[in-house]
Amino acid sequence: MIVYPNCKINLGLHILRKRADGYHDLETVFYPTRLNDILEIIPGHPGGQTDTIAFTQSGIEIAGPPADNLCVKAYRLLKNDFPDLPPVQLHLHKIIPSGAGLGGGSADAAFTLKLLNDSFNLGITAGKLIEYALQLGSDCPFFILNQPCLAGGRGEKLEKLELSLQGYQLLLVNPGIHIHTGKAFAALHPALPSKPLKEIILQPVHTWKEELVNDFEKAIFAAYPAIAAIKDQLYQAGCHYASMSGSGSTVYGLYPAGQKIRFDFPPHYFIKSIPA
């Protein structure tokens, strides 16, 4: 069986406070996008005598050993509670850039949970899948629901939103810079926003430029001027709104579908234009 894990963008991102457990409370809107990886699971023994999962990967290279991949961890997480879960061969074709603020790895993990649940009739409810997903990463629960959500807590407290960007085109630009999430959080100064994100997001897109803020941008733009330059160029090209997604390094721009925009980014940049 084959599925197509999609990524997300963050519409605004406020870091509210640091918690006693070392995590941060945040406020953001997760919005699913149409850029997808490809994930295939084939039931059957992978050939080893002791392991129960064989993992292969193509496309954009993923750093680290296969055992550390979130898809493999998702399988093992369910295997602990469902010992009769059969052996599988799992192949991931990676299209979404890694470490780019798009949640591609989180999507792959969440889709693995859903695919295993559906393929082997495990009967896991959506609520329980969200609990499993949170054990894999703070962004993972969103991809169980996979629709626009206002997120709080670490990102796991999700409120579905009636939000559509239909009529807009989304331009994703990634310069290939890997941002260390821990260092990005360390540079922040958490604070409560002057205006609730839920209120801002209901305003017309052309009003977002002055109010819809990603708190990571200030420190990351100072450390990586090339990322700041992408946002500037997107506005110069005519985007109604541009922002960094998550903790970077992808910057996206929203512009009306049918509008022609001109940009001149280096040839090694990952650039993708898709309907929003």
Edge to edge, what strands does the sheet with 241-244 contain?
241-244, 251-256, 168-174, 270-275
Question: How far is it, in rounded angstroms, from Cα 202 to Cα 195?
Answer: 12
Q: Is 81 left (phi over 0), alpha (psi -120 to 50) or beta?
A: alpha
> Do the Cβ atoms of 154 and 23 come closer than 8 Å?
yes
What is the β-pairing status of strands 157-160 and 24-36? unpaired
Distances, alpha carbon 12 to alpha carbons 109, 112, 116, 257, in Å: 24, 28, 32, 22
Query: Catalytic: 139?
Result: yes
Question: How far is it, in rounded angstroms, from Cα 82 to Cα 88?
Answer: 14
Which entry of 37, 139, 231, 272 is annotated as an active-site residue?
Answer: 139
Query: Catalytic: 94?
Result: no
Structure tokens at 150: 């206002």
SS3 state of residue 144: helix
> Which residue numbers are catalytic?
8, 139
